[in-house]
């Protein structure tokens, strides 16, 4: 790469107070995040530096049934850090929450890009199919009417946040708005655009940056295997290990030092939150490593048990993280038997106690029947043989 080409990015970074050293450090951590060796850092640097001279890659940020929490998470970077600059490389032609354009102009910009195709579609929020699509109306018509074209013409879809992945909390029981994830919507409409799922509530901006780099600059569009996605279309590098595996409180877990009550001495000591329902052992994200809010901290480090917002099951109704993990302070999810909502512990103990009680009652019967001392006398022959008229 020619020096002056590098210079273009350098001046852009310098204008924002980012040194070349900071930039290369960031490239190294992005390589780690993508599950690559740090030796890939120069390649990432080259890709980003090259991209800055290219026409900006077009992108659409589409909001479904969303609380805008993911937008908020992306916007939380309060100083323009390297990640922000890289995201500036994306030309986001439509972004409801923060775009300048309004009304028909904004819709026209979106329609133009959709007609042209080849953009990255970042989808935030739940796909709302309820009430014949009227659960979410955009620009005067149900959003689900425009989505097939938006998804079909995209080069790739990045589903950000658990809502976009599998409906998230919007789709939690009883799901009146008919919320589903992007992947399921695409499947229903036979859309084959690649979908990258980035669950958690909200999404971690570092992951979005990593995926944008992957999709736009490292050739993931030509060869999807670069993304190394799991069965739920999540990048394995980010969603491959449990929170429990990398947790800073793991030592306390192994020692058997637990918080059983909030406000206790154990809590003050920073003991393990397993006994107050931490879902870290079954939630696959790298939160403890990447952390949140400019890498300041993350849920468990700040004292809250993991509530499993990174659980995802994009193609199964009821697989959203709320149905799977609520109540958050219990070890197990609730189970529904008809209208009856209860905990597995209660069911197990009740069935076990019923079995023991039945045996006790039976024992009383055996005693009354005089069978306790050796059982009843044996039959002469099997009943079926007796019916046949002989035991020969």
Cβ closest to other proteins, residue 140 vs residue 256 = 256
Is residue 107 involved in binding other proteins (CB under 8 A)?
no
Torsion of CA 360, 366, 368, 370, to 10 degrees: -150
Cβ closest to other proteins, residue 219 vs residue 391 = 391
Is residue 269 involved in binding other proteins (CB under 8 A)?
no
All residues at 6 or more sequence positions from 278 whose CB lies less than 8 Å from its CB, including other chains: 272, 300, 305, 306
354: tokens are 């019923």
Distance CA 57, CA 71 (A): 19
Residue from the set 75, 275, 302, 361 that interacts with other proteins by CB under 8 A = 275
Residue from the set 143, 153, 242, 285 that interacts with other proteins by CB under 8 A = 242
**Min. distance of Cβ 222 from other proteins in angstroms?**
26
- Tell me which stretch binds other proteins (CB under 8 A): 175-183, 215-223, 293-301, 340-348: 340-348
Cβ closest to other proteins, residue 106 vs residue 275 = 275
Cβ closest to other proteins, residue 35 vs residue 142 = 35
Q: What is the DSSP letter of 269?
A: T
Is residue 327 involved in binding other proteins (CB under 8 A)?
no
**Helical H segments across 89-200, by residue range:** 103-116, 143-153, 161-166, 182-188
- Tell me which stretch binds other proteins (CB under 8 A): 84-92, 155-163, 188-196, 313-321: 313-321
Residue from the set 8, 75, 335, 341 that interacts with other proteins by CB under 8 A = 335
- Tell me which stretch binds other proteins (CB under 8 A): 27-35, 61-69, 135-143, 356-364: 356-364
Is residue 65 involved in binding other proteins (CB under 8 A)?
no
Is residue 316 involved in binding other proteins (CB under 8 A)?
yes
Distance CA 72, CA 271 (A): 31
Beta carbons of 83 and 77 less than 8 angstroms apart: yes
Is residue 248 involved in binding other proteins (CB under 8 A)?
no
Residue span 215-234 as binding mask against other proteins, x where in contact by CB under 8 A, dash where not = ---------------xxx--
**Helical H segments across 261-318, by residue range:** 265-268, 287-290
42 three-state secondary structure: helix
Torsion of CA 278, 280, 286, 292, to 10 degrees: 0
The β-bridge relationship of strands 120-124 and 156-160 is parallel
Is residue 173 involved in binding other proteins (CB under 8 A)?
no
Residue from the set 40, 217, 274, 292 that interacts with other proteins by CB under 8 A = 274
Beta carbons of 242 and 280 less than 8 angstroms apart: yes
Is residue 240 involved in binding other proteins (CB under 8 A)?
yes
Residue from the set 7, 17, 117, 375 that interacts with other proteins by CB under 8 A = 375
Token match 């849920």: residue?
299
Residue 372 φ/ψ, nearest 5 degrees: -65, -30
Q: By CB under 8 A, what part of segment 292-311 binds other proteins?
A: 308, 311
Beta carbons of 18 and 85 less than 8 angstroms apart: yes
Is residue 149 involved in binding other proteins (CB under 8 A)?
no
Cβ closest to other proteins, residue 7 vs residue 344 = 344
Beta carbons of 35 and 237 less than 8 angstroms apart: yes
Cβ closest to other proteins, residue 53 vs residue 369 = 369
- Tell me which stretch binds other proteins (CB under 8 A): 17-25, 115-123, 210-218, 325-333: 325-333
Token match 């006398």: residue?
377
Is residue 116 involved in binding other proteins (CB under 8 A)?
no
11 three-state secondary structure: helix
Is residue 80 involved in binding other proteins (CB under 8 A)?
no
The residue count for the chain: 392
Nearest to 224 by CA among 192, 186, 200: 192
Distance CA 143, CA 63 (A): 10
* Chain contacts with other proteins (rule: CB under 8 A): 230-232, 240-242, 244-245, 253-258, 274-275, 279, 281-282, 308, 311, 313, 316, 318-319, 324-325, 331-333, 335, 344-345, 347-348, 351-352, 355-356, 359, 362-363, 365-366, 369-384, 391
């Amino acid at each position: 790469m020619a020096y002056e080409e590098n210079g273009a990015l350098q001046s852009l970074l310098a204008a924002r107070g980012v040194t070349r050293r900071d930039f290369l450090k960031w490239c190294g951590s992005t390589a780690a995040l993508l599950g690559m060796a740090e030796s890939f850092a120069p390649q990432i640097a080259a890709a980003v530096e090259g991209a800055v001279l290219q026409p900006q890659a077009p992108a659409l940020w589409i909001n479904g049934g969303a609380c805008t929490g993911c937008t908020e998470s992306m916007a939380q970077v309060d100083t323009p850090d390297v990640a922000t600059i890289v995201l500036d490389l994306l030309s986001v032609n439509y972004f409801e929450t923060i775009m300048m354009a309004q009304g028909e102009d904004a819709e026209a910009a979106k329609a133009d890009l959709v007609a042209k195709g080849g953009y990255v579609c970042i989808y935030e929020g739940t796909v709302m199919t309820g009430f014949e699509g009227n659960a979410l109306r955009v620009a005067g018509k149900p959003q689900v009417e425009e989505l097939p074209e938006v998804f079909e013409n995209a080069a790739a879809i990045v589903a950000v946040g658990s809502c976009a992945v599998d409906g998230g909390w919007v789709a939690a029981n009883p799901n009146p708005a008919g919320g589903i994830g992007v992947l399921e919507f695409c499947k229903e409409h036979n859309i084959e655009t690649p979908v990258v799922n980035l669950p958690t509530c909200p999404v971690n901006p570092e992951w979005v940056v990593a995926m944008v780099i992957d999709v736009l600059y490292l050739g993931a569009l030509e060869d999807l295997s670069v993304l190394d996605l799991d069965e739920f279309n999540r990048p394995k590098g980010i969603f491959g290990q449990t929170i429990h595996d990398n947790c800073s409180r793991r030592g306390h877990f192994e020692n058997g030092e637990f918080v059983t009550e909030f406000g206790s001495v154990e809590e003050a000591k920073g003991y393990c939150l397993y006994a107050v329902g931490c879902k870290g052992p079954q939630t696959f994200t790298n939160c403890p490593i990447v952390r949140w809010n400019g890498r300041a901290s993350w849920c468990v480090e700040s004292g809250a048990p993991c509530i499993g917002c990174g659980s995802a099951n994009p193609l199964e109704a009821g697989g959203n993280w709320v149905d799977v993990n609520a109540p958050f302070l219990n070890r197990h999810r609730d189970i529904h038997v008809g209208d009856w909502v209860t905990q597995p512990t209660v069911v197990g103990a009740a069935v076990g106690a019923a079995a023991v009680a039945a045996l006790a009652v039976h024992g009383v019967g055996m005693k009354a029947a005089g069978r306790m001392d050796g059982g009843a006398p044996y039959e002469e022959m099997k009943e079926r043989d007796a019916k046949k008229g002989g035991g020969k």
